[in-house]
Structure 1
Amino acid sequence: MHRKRGILVLLVVVVLAVWGIRRLSPRTVRRDLSYPLPARSGSPAVTVPVFQRLPVSGDAVVPVRDVTTAHTPVRRISKPDPGVIPGEYVLSFYDEADQQRFIRQVQSAGGVVVDRMPFAHAVRIRLEPGLSLDDVLAGGPVPVDQSPNLMVRVPSSPDPVPGLPAMDHSYTGFGDQVLDWLGVPQDNSRWGAGITVAVLDGGVGDSPALAGDRLKRLDLLNGTVAADGQSSLHATAVASLLAGLPGDGVTGVAPACNVLSVRVLDADGSGNAFTVAKGIVAAVDAGARILNLSLGGYGDAYIMRQAIQYATERGVIVVAAAGNDGLGELAYPARYEQVVAVGAVDAAGQRLLVSNGGAGIDVMAPGVGIQAAGEGTNRVSFSGTSAAVPLVSGALAALLSQDAAGPADVARLLRQYADDAGLPGIDEEYGHGVLNIQRVLERAEPGIHDVAVGTPLVKETGGVPYLTLVIQNRGTEMLDKIELDLDIDGVASVHGIYRVPVGVSVAREFRLDGRRLVQPEGVHVRYAARLPDVIDVRPLNNAPRSVTLRQETR
């Protein structure tokens, strides 16, 4: 939505007309990871059948995006800070001899060599005020690349972000039902077998959800590579959503995968581009097939870019968080073309307003109120793009362990079979859509007929408001005929949609009465999609919904 003086925000109250199904209880997002869950009996009560995801649930007020701006996510006015670390530089050299020569020059000049690595013959240095990089380089080897070192950290807390329009921030949490929502079968105990996923974070701690010998650790802080080190709650929660063991209450998407914990962030969740790059290379060299980076920053560090290239050239999939700052651009490394960039949605399929969008966003995944492992036997409620990333990493690990397909193919499958959201096709808010593992698993199964209706969109053209409904074929067969039942303020109509190929979305627009939109009672809309000639295997995602549209001045 645009932030303008006197902006009109269209709100929609949605009530599901699906009887006999209790809905996920609304949960307000408070922070990315912080508060322990209550006792198990206090978790959100969910009886939604397995594999049935409800597009919008409860009586919550949710914003409807303006279609004319749906490709431009809500963003803050200011440009994000690239996070330059004062006095720190990263330089790469032609060979080891030049690297060693430069190290001696730094030390002779009174600078500090913080870290080094064989990859790219790179060196991280710190210079005190009064000592310039030009002085250190004078008469020495010429670097191949150089730049300031940049800050990297876990995504910020998904609280309401300063600069975003004021609106309701209520979302529907997942609790312990996230695997059902994603379409993961009841028995996924062998998913990820033989695949190593590296979690580059603050260090994964001990938890019953990660018991056994599947967890290995590297600690890259303090310029060394250690077999163990400190841990963080954030990293432990991430690893549990990736690989938590069945039966402990926090089952991961790929509980049979091996986890390589690579500590690149400190206890506060802060780190730097050099150490992250070093961690990427170390993880690849240790045999990781997937890299999970629930972290990011807003500066393009050449050393991190080269490390990402090193990984992808060796067939390693890199998955990273889009960021929680409500920006129209992604954080790095998610912003790199080779990286699978992940945003966050709630259990109603709504994109979190703080979830960054922009060119390059790939898929959305659950990221609100997910039950995850904490310290020891504790559990925490985990929200934000940090929580969404391990669910995608786990899905990729599962596919790699089950399929003969290579890394590029499995990443393509997740994009291809995502549930379209927002405008039809790829957009800068939802990318290819919302992760749906079940559709990937069913892709070769014939005879599946499934039509789905997305969340309503509203736009204004020439001063006239229009309602847009997006309908997608989520099955495995051509849908020859879809009937869209529509009732706007008591005026009923039926609209035929014909020959919709597998995976394709179509949009239909309907004119609204602008005078009624500004009235307290608003415009009442009821809609549903039907397959008149075949059986719809998942009727809940297109069942009748009642909608009230009103226009409010903010």
Structure 2
Amino acid sequence: MISAEDETKIEFRGLILHLMNNWLKSILILSILACVLSFGTLGWLAVKTTNVADGSAAKPLPAWESTLSAKKPGQINLEASLDQATALALRTVDELAARLRQLSATPGVKAGELVLTFKSEEALKAFRDQAASLGFKVLHDDPRLLTSRVKYSDADAMARALRQNADDLDNIGLNYLAWVPGLPDTSQVDAANAGGDVPFGNSGLDAIGATGDRKNWGTGTKVAVLDTGVTDHPSLEDSRVTHIDLVKDGLAPNGHGTAMASLIAGDASQDGGVAPASEILDIRVADTRGESNTALVAEGIMQAVDQGAKLINISLGTTGDSDVLRRAVEYALEKGVIVVAAAGNEQQTSLAYPAGYEGVISVAAVDANGNQAYFSNSGENLTLAAPGVGIVSAYSDNRMVVSSGTSQATAITSGVISTLLGWGYPARGMAQTLTTGAQSTGAPKNQVGAGIVQLVRP
């Protein structure tokens, strides 16, 4: 049997062990808490240090432009765009720089370029003044649009500049490629397209009611042709043509711009333009390959407005929805300048830009039977159509050629508008005048709009 004294000793030892165990647990718990607090403090300091270094704290990136996917190789891919959610997730300069490198390598954009939109003219000027120190070059900016086209070779430097100026930026945009639309492979005709391919074999003047003596049509109207440049040609020798070259590559223009000018203002006896008395403002925005970009097209629009053009013909386009291009179009429309643009030749169910912007007179192509051309884009905002298959026009080297496209349809429509302006029709109501007078084909509006453009005589 255990004596009372021994029982007391056992209870005492148990108490001592219990206290020791609790004390060890307490020490262990306190140690763990101390470690957690230490790591938390280090983590907080690291985050604060990073935020101070790259400026990401309280400076979310502004919106990035979205893009349209397209079937044509080399055009923009939707997955390559950077949406707002992704932009906000780029919390460090390194992440942003990596994304810039990825976007710069995307087909369909000008590598190493951005188009930035600012919240104020003061912010735009301050950014321009910082360019050299921040490691990039300003190629062009416009205080009226609050935009700046910048070129960079160091993605890390560009990322730091974007972070430092995040509070002043309203939009970060890629500089999308734009191009004179070519024709798709005829073996890949889109089922959604009417498939018209019967050539006019002439300039299409009869089909739009442009008959009789046209020599004074377009009097008093200056038409800006934003294209590959206009060269000398016999059909334009009596026309007033002013040249502005924004490409400045030292190369000779290709014939596309000359063709567009001849369909507007050419005076060839048999296959001349609609309005030979029009003054042509040739603004070269596309190179010999027919390639341009949205920033340069926007600059061309602003030049056209500044030079007093009443009408701007844009027989080229892009699938990228560009903030600077949209702003330039809106500026022109606000100034009362009419913008006419090609729907595009990609067999798409959406219009190329700027044709797809509200307020722009967008033009599709029809063949000699009045059917939507097999290549012509469709779209809910399509205004109307014009002859665009087998059209005779001028070209470089004093040639006459037969070609097809929504480019030709657009130039013919611009000739009609120039004529109507010369006859006293108001610019503000021109879209309504055209759609009211268009010849219906019975086709859906998304294919040919209101129908085939017609000259509505006063």
- TM-score tier after normalising by the smaller chain length: 0.7 to 0.9
Task: Tell me if structure 2 keeps the 8 A contact 1:114–1:124.
Answer: yes
- Cα drift, residue 323 of structure 1: 0.3
Query: Larger relative CO (CA 8 A, sep 6+): 1 or 2?
Result: 1
CA pair 409-421 structure 1, distance change in 2 beyond 3 A = same
| Percent of aligned pairs sharing the same letter | 37
Task: Tell me if structure 1 keeps the 8 A contact 2:350–2:378.
Answer: yes
- Cα drift, residue 138 of structure 1: 3.5
1:354-411 per-residue CA deviation (whole Å, 9 max, x = no partner) reads 10001111111000111100113211112110110011001011001012x3113232
CA pair 93-130 structure 1, distance change in 2 beyond 3 A = closer
Q: How does 1:191-202 map to 2 (within 5 A)?
A: 191-202=217-228
1:43-74 per-residue CA deviation (whole Å, 9 max, x = no partner) reads xxxxxxxxxxxxxxxxxxxxxxxxxxxxxxxx
For 1:198, give the aligned amino acid. A
Q: 2:449 corresponds to which residue?
A: 431
Q: 1:81 corresponds to which residue?
A: 76
CA pair 166-113 structure 1, distance change in 2 beyond 3 A = closer
For 1:156, give the aligned amino acid. G
Task: Tell me if structure 1 keeps the 8 A contact 2:239–2:265.
Answer: no
1:256 to 257, 271, 277: 277
- Alpha-carbon distance in structure 1 between the residues aligned to 2:261 and 2:139: 29
CA pair 333-215 structure 1, distance change in 2 beyond 3 A = same
1:74-119 per-residue CA deviation (whole Å, 9 max, x = no partner) reads x969996263333311113355543343234332233232333343
CA pair 338-370 structure 1, distance change in 2 beyond 3 A = same
Report the count of equivalent residues: 358
- Alpha-carbon distance in structure 1 between the residues aligned to 2:201 and 2:395: 14
Task: Tell me if structure 1 keeps the 8 A contact 2:239–2:266.
Answer: no
Task: Tell me if structure 2 keeps the 8 A contact 1:216–1:260.
Answer: yes
Three-state SS of the structure 1 residue aligned to 2:183 is: coil
- Alpha-carbon distance in structure 1 between the residues aligned to 2:217 and 2:267: 11
* Structure 1 segments unaligned to the other structure (5+ residues): 1-74, 445-554
Task: Tell me if structure 1 keeps the 8 A contact 2:142–2:148.
Answer: yes
Task: Tell me if structure 2 keeps the 8 A contact 1:289–1:316.
Answer: yes
CA pair 79-144 structure 1, distance change in 2 beyond 3 A = same
1:189-212 per-residue CA deviation (whole Å, 9 max, x = no partner) reads 111000000000111111111113
CA pair 123-347 structure 1, distance change in 2 beyond 3 A = same
Query: Is 1:106 aligned to residue 107 of structure 2?
Result: no
1:175-194 per-residue CA deviation (whole Å, 9 max, x = no partner) reads 22511222112201111000
- Alpha-carbon distance in structure 2 between the residues aligned to 1:361 and 1:220: 29
Three-state SS of the structure 2 residue aligned to 1:282 is: helix
Q: 1:236 corresponds to which residue?
A: 258
More helix per residue: 1 or 2? 2
- Alpha-carbon distance in structure 2 between the residues aligned to 1:127 and 1:416: 49
Three-state SS of the structure 2 residue aligned to 1:329 is: coil
Q: How does 1:49-448 map to 2 (within 5 A)?
A: 81=76, 83-128=108-153, 130-131=155-156, 133-140=158-165, 142-160=168-186, 162=188, 164-165=190-191, 171-212=197-238, 214-222=240-248, 230-247=252-269, 249-403=270-424, 405-423=425-443, 427-437=445-455, 440-441=456-457
For 1:123, give the aligned amino acid. S
CA pair 108-372 structure 1, distance change in 2 beyond 3 A = same
Q: 1:47 corresponds to which residue?
A: none
- Alpha-carbon distance in structure 2 between the residues aligned to 1:325 and 1:230: 27
- Alpha-carbon distance in structure 2 between the residues aligned to 1:166 and 1:422: 16
Q: How does 1:449-460 map to 2 (within 5 A)?
A: none
Three-state SS of the structure 1 residue aligned to 2:445 is: coil
1:389-434 per-residue CA deviation (whole Å, 9 max, x = no partner) reads 011001011001012x3113232111111111234xx621111111
For 1:90, give the aligned amino acid. V
For 1:173, give the aligned amino acid. P
Three-state SS of the structure 1 residue aligned to 2:116 is: strand
For 1:81, give the aligned amino acid. I
For 2:135, give the aligned amino acid. G
Larger deviation, residues 143-152 vs 340-349: 143-152
Q: How does 1:484-503 map to 2 (within 5 A)?
A: none
CA pair 80-113 structure 1, distance change in 2 beyond 3 A = closer
Q: 1:64 corresponds to which residue?
A: none
- Alpha-carbon distance in structure 1 between the residues aligned to 2:219 and 2:319: 35
Q: 2:66 corresponds to which residue?
A: none
Task: Tell me if structure 1 keeps the 8 A contact 2:386–2:452.
Answer: yes
Task: Tell me if structure 2 keeps the 8 A contact 1:420–1:434.
Answer: yes
For 1:243, give the aligned amino acid. A
For 2:376, give the aligned amino acid. S
* Structure 2 segments unaligned to the other structure (5+ residues): 1-69, 78-107
For 1:124, give the aligned amino acid. R
- Cα drift, residue 164 of structure 1: 2.9
- Alpha-carbon distance in structure 1 between the residues aligned to 2:229 and 2:357: 24
- Cα drift, residue 250 of structure 1: 3.3
For 2:114, give the aligned amino acid. Y
For 1:370, give the aligned amino acid. I
CA pair 214-168 structure 1, distance change in 2 beyond 3 A = closer
Task: Tell me if structure 2 keeps the 8 A contact 1:201–1:294.
Answer: yes
RMSD between superposed Cα atoms in Å: 2.7
Task: Tell me if structure 1 keeps the 8 A contact 2:203–2:263.
Answer: no
Q: 2:45 corresponds to which residue?
A: none
TM-score (norm 2): 0.72
- Alpha-carbon distance in structure 2 between the residues aligned to 1:95 and 1:337: 25
- Cα drift, residue 266 of structure 1: 1.1
Task: Tell me if structure 2 keeps the 8 A contact 1:208–1:376.
Answer: no
- Cα drift, residue 123 of structure 1: 1.6
- Alpha-carbon distance in structure 2 between the residues aligned to 1:115 and 1:312: 22
- Alpha-carbon distance in structure 1 between the residues aligned to 2:426 and 2:271: 28
CA pair 252-163 structure 1, distance change in 2 beyond 3 A = closer
Q: 1:538 corresponds to which residue?
A: none
1:102-158 per-residue CA deviation (whole Å, 9 max, x = no partner) reads 234332233232333343242211223542643113434712333111111111224
CA pair 373-79 structure 1, distance change in 2 beyond 3 A = closer
